[in-house]
Amino acid sequence: MNLSFGEVQTFVSDLEVARRFYVDTLGLKLVKATEKWLILDVSGKQFILMAGGRPVERLEAYGAECATVLCLLTDDIHRDYAALKAGGVRFFSEVNKVDEGEYVAFQDPDGNLLELIQQ
């Protein structure tokens, strides 16, 4: 096998709510929109939000259940954490420091998991 990274897809219950969160709040670039999906650009790779999903249960603790996490690299995690928190994004904790860098986890409006990471 010779596998390489293609794209990431996630299902959302409301494309307009997802667009506002991912484009307006997180600042990701919208490449294409249809009534069934949104294609976003994340560092030259496609992140596709697909309509028709059901919200997942909101977690009380990060890492409590198996899940895929979309990790977004930042050059200033504390600045971006503060801006997103001020914009209403609910984080699981303050910024955490590990040997590899810093991270902080949050959920989108449908409960999908994301992290800001700084290496």
pTM of the full structure:
0.86
Residue 79 lies in a domain: yes
CATH code of 40's domain:
3.30.720.120
Hunting for tokens 């600045």 — which residue is that? 79
Six-digit token pair at 100?
């590899």
Six-digit token pair at 74?
């930042």
| Structural domain boundaries, residue 26 | 7-52
What is the pLDDT at residue 81?
A: 97
Residues 78 and 109 reside in one and the same domain = yes
**Contact present, 110 and 13 (Cβ < 8 Å):** yes
What is the pLDDT at residue 56?
A: 82
Residue 104 lies in a domain: yes
Q: State the Cα–Cα distance between residues 19 and 87, nearest whole angstrom.
A: 15
Residue 57 lies in a domain: no
Residues 44 and 79 reside in one and the same domain = no
Residues 46 and 85 reside in one and the same domain = no
Strand order through the sheet with 101-107: 69-73, 113-118, 101-107, 96-98
Per-residue pLDDT of the chain (119 residues; tens, 9 = 90+): 776 788 899 999 999 999 999 999 999 999 999 999 999 999 999 999 999 998 887 777 777 776 789 999 999 999 999 999 999 999 999 999 999 999 999 999 999 999 999 99
